[in-house]
Structure 1
Amino acid sequence: MENDREGPVPQNGSEGPVPRVGVAVFLLRGKTVLLGKRRSSLGDSTFALPGGHLEFGESFEDCAAREVKEETGLEIDKMEFLTVTNNPFLDEPKPSHYVVIFIRALLRDPQQVPQNLEPNKCDGWDWYDWNNLPNPLFWPLENMVQSGFNPFPID
Protein backbone atom coordinates (compact mmCIF):
# COMPACT_ATOMS: atom_id res chain seq x y z
CA MET A 1 0.00 0.00 0.00
CA GLU A 2 1.07 3.60 -0.14
CA ASN A 3 2.73 3.57 3.31
CA ASP A 4 3.61 0.07 4.42
CA ARG A 5 6.19 1.13 7.03
CA GLU A 6 4.96 3.73 9.42
CA GLY A 7 6.29 6.44 11.63
CA PRO A 8 9.09 8.94 11.49
CA VAL A 9 12.50 7.69 10.52
CA PRO A 10 15.59 9.55 11.76
CA GLN A 11 18.32 10.06 9.18
CA ASN A 12 21.99 9.59 10.04
CA GLY A 13 21.60 10.47 13.69
CA SER A 14 19.46 13.57 13.11
CA GLU A 15 17.35 14.67 16.06
CA GLY A 16 13.91 14.57 14.43
CA PRO A 17 11.86 12.72 11.87
CA VAL A 18 12.48 13.24 8.17
CA PRO A 19 10.13 12.90 5.20
CA ARG A 20 10.08 9.56 3.40
CA VAL A 21 9.43 8.90 -0.29
CA GLY A 22 6.61 6.65 -1.38
CA VAL A 23 5.53 5.49 -4.81
CA ALA A 24 1.84 4.85 -5.51
CA VAL A 25 0.51 3.26 -8.67
CA PHE A 26 -2.64 4.09 -10.58
CA LEU A 27 -3.01 0.65 -12.16
CA LEU A 28 -5.66 1.13 -14.85
CA ARG A 29 -7.88 -1.38 -16.63
CA GLY A 30 -10.44 0.19 -18.96
CA LYS A 31 -12.01 2.98 -16.88
CA THR A 32 -11.28 1.21 -13.58
CA VAL A 33 -8.46 1.55 -11.06
CA LEU A 34 -7.08 -1.04 -8.64
CA LEU A 35 -7.63 -0.22 -4.94
CA GLY A 36 -7.10 -2.13 -1.73
CA LYS A 37 -8.55 -1.62 1.74
CA ARG A 38 -5.71 -0.68 4.12
CA ARG A 39 -4.96 -2.49 7.37
CA SER A 40 -2.67 -0.01 9.04
CA SER A 41 -2.57 2.55 11.84
CA LEU A 42 -2.19 5.14 9.07
CA GLY A 43 -5.44 5.24 7.11
CA ASP A 44 -6.85 1.99 8.49
CA SER A 45 -9.95 0.75 6.60
CA THR A 46 -9.55 3.31 3.80
CA PHE A 47 -9.13 2.44 0.13
CA ALA A 48 -5.71 3.14 -1.39
CA LEU A 49 -3.55 2.46 -4.41
CA PRO A 50 -0.84 -0.19 -4.38
CA GLY A 51 2.60 1.17 -3.59
CA GLY A 52 5.26 1.55 -0.95
CA HIS A 53 8.61 3.00 -0.04
CA LEU A 54 11.27 3.94 -2.53
CA GLU A 55 14.45 2.04 -1.72
CA PHE A 56 17.90 3.59 -1.91
CA GLY A 57 19.11 3.77 -5.53
CA GLU A 58 15.79 2.55 -6.97
CA SER A 59 14.01 4.26 -9.88
CA PHE A 60 10.36 5.26 -9.50
CA GLU A 61 9.40 2.70 -12.15
CA ASP A 62 11.36 -0.12 -10.51
CA CYS A 63 9.75 0.70 -7.17
CA ALA A 64 6.27 0.75 -8.75
CA ALA A 65 6.80 -2.63 -10.44
CA ARG A 66 8.29 -4.19 -7.29
CA GLU A 67 5.57 -2.94 -4.93
CA VAL A 68 2.70 -3.94 -7.23
CA LYS A 69 4.25 -7.41 -7.66
CA GLU A 70 4.85 -7.81 -3.88
CA GLU A 71 1.33 -6.71 -2.94
CA THR A 72 -0.82 -8.09 -5.77
CA GLY A 73 1.28 -10.54 -7.80
CA LEU A 74 0.54 -8.44 -10.90
CA GLU A 75 3.14 -7.48 -13.47
CA ILE A 76 2.83 -3.97 -14.86
CA ASP A 77 3.85 -2.27 -18.07
CA LYS A 78 3.75 1.11 -19.81
CA MET A 79 4.62 3.07 -16.67
CA GLU A 80 4.42 6.85 -16.73
CA PHE A 81 5.03 9.54 -14.09
CA LEU A 82 1.83 11.45 -13.27
CA THR A 83 2.39 13.77 -10.32
CA VAL A 84 3.89 14.17 -6.87
CA THR A 85 2.16 15.12 -3.62
CA ASN A 86 3.36 16.33 -0.23
CA ASN A 87 1.57 14.46 2.60
CA PRO A 88 2.32 15.36 6.21
CA PHE A 89 0.42 13.08 8.61
CA LEU A 90 0.97 15.27 11.67
CA ASP A 91 -2.21 14.40 13.58
CA GLU A 92 -1.67 10.64 13.47
CA PRO A 93 -0.70 8.58 16.56
CA LYS A 94 2.72 8.16 14.90
CA PRO A 95 3.25 11.42 12.98
CA SER A 96 4.94 10.98 9.61
CA HIS A 97 5.52 12.86 6.38
CA TYR A 98 5.55 11.34 2.91
CA VAL A 99 6.38 12.74 -0.48
CA VAL A 100 4.49 10.44 -2.86
CA ILE A 101 5.36 9.87 -6.51
CA PHE A 102 2.31 8.76 -8.51
CA ILE A 103 2.85 6.47 -11.49
CA ARG A 104 0.28 5.35 -14.06
CA ALA A 105 0.61 1.77 -15.33
CA LEU A 106 -1.18 -0.96 -17.23
CA LEU A 107 -1.22 -4.71 -16.69
CA ARG A 108 1.43 -6.55 -18.69
CA ASP A 109 -1.19 -9.31 -19.26
CA PRO A 110 -4.81 -8.04 -19.13
CA GLN A 111 -5.96 -11.51 -17.95
CA GLN A 112 -4.00 -11.25 -14.67
CA VAL A 113 -6.06 -11.29 -11.47
CA PRO A 114 -4.85 -9.47 -8.35
CA GLN A 115 -4.01 -11.57 -5.30
CA ASN A 116 -3.80 -10.33 -1.72
CA LEU A 117 -0.15 -11.21 -0.99
CA GLU A 118 0.11 -9.02 2.12
CA PRO A 119 -3.07 -9.79 4.13
CA ASN A 120 -1.56 -8.15 7.22
CA LYS A 121 -1.50 -4.83 5.30
CA CYS A 122 -4.56 -5.10 3.05
CA ASP A 123 -8.02 -6.68 3.17
CA GLY A 124 -7.95 -7.35 -0.58
CA TRP A 125 -7.79 -5.79 -4.04
CA ASP A 126 -10.52 -4.97 -6.52
CA TRP A 127 -11.16 -2.87 -9.60
CA TYR A 128 -13.31 0.24 -9.12
CA ASP A 129 -14.90 2.52 -11.68
CA TRP A 130 -13.22 5.93 -11.47
CA ASN A 131 -16.65 7.61 -11.37
CA ASN A 132 -17.88 5.32 -8.57
CA LEU A 133 -14.98 4.95 -6.12
CA PRO A 134 -15.48 3.25 -2.74
CA ASN A 135 -15.50 5.15 0.55
CA PRO A 136 -13.60 6.12 2.49
CA LEU A 137 -10.55 6.80 0.36
CA PHE A 138 -7.08 7.20 1.89
CA TRP A 139 -6.90 10.98 2.40
CA PRO A 140 -4.05 11.73 -0.07
CA LEU A 141 -6.08 9.93 -2.77
CA GLU A 142 -9.30 11.61 -1.61
CA ASN A 143 -7.64 15.02 -1.93
CA MET A 144 -6.56 14.20 -5.48
CA VAL A 145 -10.06 13.04 -6.45
CA GLN A 146 -11.66 16.13 -4.88
CA SER A 147 -9.25 18.39 -6.78
CA GLY A 148 -10.49 16.90 -10.09
CA PHE A 149 -7.33 14.88 -10.77
CA ASN A 150 -7.89 12.22 -13.42
CA PRO A 151 -5.30 9.43 -13.86
CA PHE A 152 -6.64 8.33 -17.23
CA PRO A 153 -4.93 9.39 -20.48
CA ILE A 154 -6.74 12.06 -22.46
CA ASP A 155 -7.91 10.56 -25.74
Structure 2
Amino acid sequence: MEKTARPKVAVVVFLLEDKKVLLGRRRSTVGRDTFALPGGHLEFGESFAECAAREVKEETGLDIENIEFLTATNNVVSDALHIVAIVMRAVPADPDQIPQNLEPEKCEGWDWYDWNNLLRPLFGPLEAMPRCGFDPLFPPILA
Protein backbone atom coordinates (compact mmCIF):
# COMPACT_ATOMS: atom_id res chain seq x y z
CA MET A 1 0.00 0.00 0.00
CA GLU A 2 1.36 3.45 -0.96
CA LYS A 3 1.99 5.85 1.90
CA THR A 4 -0.01 9.06 1.50
CA ALA A 5 1.54 12.39 2.43
CA ARG A 6 -0.48 14.31 5.01
CA PRO A 7 -0.50 17.95 6.05
CA LYS A 8 1.32 18.97 9.20
CA VAL A 9 -0.40 21.18 11.78
CA ALA A 10 1.51 24.19 13.05
CA VAL A 11 0.57 26.87 15.56
CA VAL A 12 1.96 30.38 15.00
CA VAL A 13 1.58 33.32 17.34
CA PHE A 14 1.10 37.01 16.72
CA LEU A 15 2.79 38.15 19.91
CA LEU A 16 1.76 41.77 20.29
CA GLU A 17 3.24 44.71 22.16
CA ASP A 18 1.27 47.89 21.46
CA LYS A 19 1.11 48.02 17.63
CA LYS A 20 4.18 45.86 17.20
CA VAL A 21 4.53 42.16 16.44
CA LEU A 22 7.43 39.85 17.35
CA LEU A 23 9.26 38.47 14.30
CA GLY A 24 12.42 36.45 13.78
CA ARG A 25 14.52 35.86 10.65
CA ARG A 26 14.38 32.17 9.73
CA ARG A 27 17.53 30.06 9.28
CA SER A 28 15.79 26.83 8.29
CA THR A 29 15.70 25.55 4.71
CA VAL A 30 12.03 26.43 4.22
CA GLY A 31 11.69 30.21 4.19
CA ARG A 32 15.37 30.89 4.85
CA ASP A 33 16.11 34.61 5.50
CA THR A 34 12.42 35.55 5.74
CA PHE A 35 10.78 37.10 8.78
CA ALA A 36 8.32 34.84 10.59
CA LEU A 37 6.20 34.55 13.70
CA PRO A 38 7.18 32.29 16.60
CA GLY A 39 5.52 28.90 16.43
CA GLY A 40 5.89 25.25 15.64
CA HIS A 41 4.24 21.89 15.31
CA LEU A 42 1.23 20.91 17.38
CA GLU A 43 1.98 17.91 19.59
CA PHE A 44 -0.46 15.05 20.13
CA GLY A 45 -3.13 15.91 22.70
CA GLU A 46 -2.06 19.55 22.96
CA SER A 47 -4.55 22.44 22.72
CA PHE A 48 -3.78 25.33 20.37
CA ALA A 49 -3.23 27.65 23.36
CA GLU A 50 -0.90 25.14 25.05
CA CYS A 51 1.11 24.80 21.85
CA ALA A 52 1.30 28.59 21.42
CA ALA A 53 2.58 29.07 24.98
CA ARG A 54 5.09 26.20 24.69
CA GLU A 55 6.49 27.26 21.32
CA VAL A 56 6.88 30.93 22.29
CA LYS A 57 8.61 29.89 25.54
CA GLU A 58 10.93 27.42 23.73
CA GLU A 59 11.91 29.92 21.04
CA THR A 60 11.97 33.26 22.89
CA GLY A 61 11.90 32.52 26.62
CA LEU A 62 8.77 34.66 26.96
CA ASP A 63 5.68 33.67 28.91
CA ILE A 64 2.46 34.77 27.23
CA GLU A 65 -1.14 35.44 28.26
CA ASN A 66 -4.51 36.37 26.75
CA ILE A 67 -3.96 33.65 24.16
CA GLU A 68 -6.73 33.50 21.57
CA PHE A 69 -7.49 31.90 18.22
CA LEU A 70 -7.54 34.24 15.20
CA THR A 71 -7.76 32.11 12.07
CA ALA A 72 -6.34 29.12 10.22
CA THR A 73 -4.45 29.07 6.93
CA ASN A 74 -3.89 26.29 4.42
CA ASN A 75 -0.35 26.44 3.02
CA VAL A 76 0.99 24.16 0.31
CA VAL A 77 4.62 25.23 0.52
CA SER A 78 6.06 22.71 -1.94
CA ASP A 79 5.28 19.32 -3.51
CA ALA A 80 6.48 17.73 -0.26
CA LEU A 81 5.26 20.22 2.36
CA HIS A 82 1.66 21.10 3.24
CA ILE A 83 1.07 22.98 6.50
CA VAL A 84 -2.21 23.92 8.15
CA ALA A 85 -1.33 26.88 10.37
CA ILE A 86 -3.43 27.68 13.40
CA VAL A 87 -2.96 31.41 13.92
CA MET A 88 -3.14 32.64 17.50
CA ARG A 89 -2.39 35.93 19.20
CA ALA A 90 -1.21 36.81 22.67
CA VAL A 91 0.64 39.41 24.71
CA PRO A 92 3.73 38.98 26.88
CA ALA A 93 2.84 38.10 30.47
CA ASP A 94 5.65 40.43 31.60
CA PRO A 95 5.99 43.48 29.32
CA ASP A 96 9.50 44.15 30.66
CA GLN A 97 10.84 40.74 29.64
CA ILE A 98 13.11 40.80 26.56
CA PRO A 99 12.87 38.04 23.92
CA GLN A 100 15.89 35.74 23.74
CA ASN A 101 17.03 33.68 20.78
CA LEU A 102 16.86 30.20 22.34
CA GLU A 103 17.03 28.31 19.03
CA PRO A 104 19.86 30.06 17.14
CA GLU A 105 20.11 27.20 14.65
CA LYS A 106 16.54 28.03 13.50
CA CYS A 107 16.39 31.81 13.94
CA GLU A 108 18.80 34.75 13.77
CA GLY A 109 17.00 36.58 16.57
CA TRP A 110 13.74 38.19 17.66
CA ASP A 111 12.63 41.79 17.60
CA TRP A 112 9.48 43.91 17.65
CA TYR A 113 8.27 45.38 14.33
CA ASP A 114 5.47 47.82 13.59
CA TRP A 115 2.62 45.86 11.97
CA ASN A 116 2.00 48.69 9.49
CA ASN A 117 5.68 48.87 8.46
CA LEU A 118 6.95 45.28 8.42
CA LEU A 119 10.39 44.29 7.19
CA ARG A 120 10.55 42.16 4.09
CA PRO A 121 10.75 39.48 2.97
CA LEU A 122 8.09 37.85 5.12
CA PHE A 123 7.67 34.09 5.37
CA GLY A 124 5.29 33.02 2.58
CA PRO A 125 2.13 32.29 4.61
CA LEU A 126 2.64 35.49 6.64
CA GLU A 127 3.28 37.60 3.51
CA ALA A 128 -0.23 36.99 2.19
CA MET A 129 -2.02 38.04 5.39
CA PRO A 130 -1.56 41.85 5.31
CA ARG A 131 -2.19 41.90 1.54
CA CYS A 132 -5.59 40.32 2.22
CA GLY A 133 -6.44 42.96 4.83
CA PHE A 134 -5.77 40.72 7.85
CA ASP A 135 -4.97 42.75 10.97
CA PRO A 136 -3.87 40.95 14.16
CA LEU A 137 -4.38 44.18 16.13
CA PHE A 138 -8.15 44.19 15.55
CA PRO A 139 -10.25 43.61 17.47
CA PRO A 140 -8.07 44.75 20.38
CA ILE A 141 -7.12 42.20 23.03
CA LEU A 142 -9.19 42.65 26.15
CA ALA A 143 -7.23 42.24 29.35
TM-score by length of 2: 0.94
2:81 to 96, 99, 105: 96
List alignment gaps of at least 5 residues for structure 1: 1-12
Displacement of 1:151 in angstroms is 0.2
**Aligned residue runs from structure 1 range 14-33, under 5 A:** 15-33=3-21
1:36 maps to 24
RMSD value, Cα? 1.2
Match of 2:126, SS state, is helix
Change (3 A) 1:146 1:126: same
**Aligned residue runs from structure 1 range 1-155, under 5 A:** 15-90=3-78, 95-154=80-139
Runs of 4+ aligned structure 1 residues displaced above 4 Å come to none
Q: Distance in 1 between matches of 2:2 and 2:98?
A: 43
Change (3 A) 1:109 1:14: farther
Match of 1:82, SS state, is strand
Q: Distance in 2 between matches of 1:154 and 1:76?
A: 18
List alignment gaps of at least 5 residues for structure 2: none
**Match of 1:15, as an amino acid?**
K
State how many pairs are aligned: 140
Change (3 A) 1:127 1:14: farther
Displacement of 1:14 in angstroms is 5.9
Match of 1:131, SS state, is helix
Offset from partner CA, 1:103-123 (integer Å, 9 cap, x none): 010010100100000000000
TM-score by length of 1: 0.87
Q: Distance in 1 between matches of 2:19 and 2:128?
A: 20
Offset from partner CA, 1:74-100 (integer Å, 9 cap, x none): 000001100000001125xxx200000
Q: Distance in 2 between matches of 1:56 and 1:131?
A: 35
